[in-house]
């Protein structure tokens, strides 16, 4: 693992690191914020998964998360959204290929060689982080924005016992029924829709739910509202009687102005679960 940069931030350290990934077969970069409390021993870890077109850097710079994480004594990790580099398959569209890994393990060509993002985020990167930095593997939460919200919800439900809490900002809730989903799931996983089910938060909510608290925020003025399918997930939550808070925030759109506005709420929500 290589240290790309480290900067003092709110008493802690915001670092950027790179490593060679066996899962993706590429060099991967991630951001990690360690609060000052980590100097005394392992601290809880909150995963933040970013959305379409993003890298590890977007939320790290724009979300304003470090101040709140420092005050709560929580580490933050910001993975990249896809493999990158020469020889890595890509597409001209912004919502497929590099920057649009959708947190799945691709089975179809030309994506399968490198696009193993579920394995990377669920297995390889956690092992690297837990073996290198003072974080507590038994106290983890996960959140994300848009495509990353989709990833946060599906990873939380797909890895029972891994995360104590899950939240999401404007997540893609029902990708198997959305243009933000059907195209990508077909490309990465093939035409058999049965293979898509474990990557659809609404279907996963119907089949298994999440054994812990859940918080979801979506803006009423989100310009991609029709693609998110928030209502489908809300209905599945109600039918299952899942413990969840789903808030429609009046006038907010899909931007990081929205994310940063409610970041304090989300980190406080996770802190209660991780320190409770």
Q: What are the catalytic residues?
A: 146, 222, 254
Q: Pick left, alpha or beta for residue 98 (phi over 0 → left; psi -120 to 50 → alpha; otherwise beta).
A: beta
Q: What does DSSP assign to residue 124?
A: I
In the three-class reduction of DSSP (H, G, I as helix; E, B as strand; rest coil), residue 134 is classed as coil
What is each CA distance from 239 to 202, 203, 211, 274, in whole angstroms?
Answer: 11, 12, 15, 27
**Do 267 and 72 meet the contact criterion of CB atoms below 8 Å apart?**
yes
Q: Which of 99, 109, 102 is nearest to 171 (CA)?
A: 102
Whether the bond into 200 is cis, omega within 30 of 0: no
**Do 220 and 248 meet the contact criterion of CB atoms below 8 Å apart?**
yes
Which two three-digit tokens encode residue 267?
A: 């980190």
* Strand pairing category for 75-78 and 27-34: antiparallel
- The rounded distance, in Å, linking the Cα atoms of 69 and 144 is 15
- The rounded distance, in Å, linking the Cα atoms of 173 and 192 is 19
Beta-carbon-side half-sphere exposure of residue 112 (alpha carbons within 13 Å): 6
């Amino acid at each position: 693992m290589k240290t790309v940069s480290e900067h003092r931030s709110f008493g802690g350290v915001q670092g950027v690191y790179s490593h060679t990934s066996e899962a993706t077969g590429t060099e991967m970069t991630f951001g990690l914020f360690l609060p000052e409390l980590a100097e005394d021993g392992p601290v809880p870890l909150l995963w933040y998964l970013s959305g379409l077109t993003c890298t590890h850097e977007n939320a790290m710079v724009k979300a304003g998360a470090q101040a709140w994480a420092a005050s709560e004594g929580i580490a933050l990790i910001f993975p990249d959204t896809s493999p990158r580099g020469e020889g890595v398959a890509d597409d001209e569209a912004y919502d497929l290929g590099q920057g649009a890994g959708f947190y799945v393990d691709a089975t179809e060509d030309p994506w399968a060689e490198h696009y193993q993002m579920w394995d990377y985020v669920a297995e390889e990167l956690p092992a690297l982080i837990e073996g290198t930095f003072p974080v507590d593997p038994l106290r983890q939460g996960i959140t994300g924005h848009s495509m990353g919200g989709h990833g946060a919800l599906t990873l939380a439900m797909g890895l029972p016992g891994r995360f104590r809490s899950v939240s999401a900002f404007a997540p893609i809730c029902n990708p198997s029924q959305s243009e933000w989903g059907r195209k990508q799931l077909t490309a990465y996983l093939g035409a058999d829709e049965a293979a898509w089910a474990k990557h659809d938060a609404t279907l996963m909510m119907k089949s298994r739910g999440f054994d812990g608290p859940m918080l979801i925020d979506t803006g009423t003025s989100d310009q991609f509202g029709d693609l998110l399918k928030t209502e489908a997930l809300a209905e599945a939550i109600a039918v299952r009687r899942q413990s969840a808070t789903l808030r429609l925030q009046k006038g907010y759109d899909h931007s990081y102005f929205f994310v940063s506005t409610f970041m304090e709420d989300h980190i406080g929500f996770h802190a209660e679960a991780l320190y409770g």
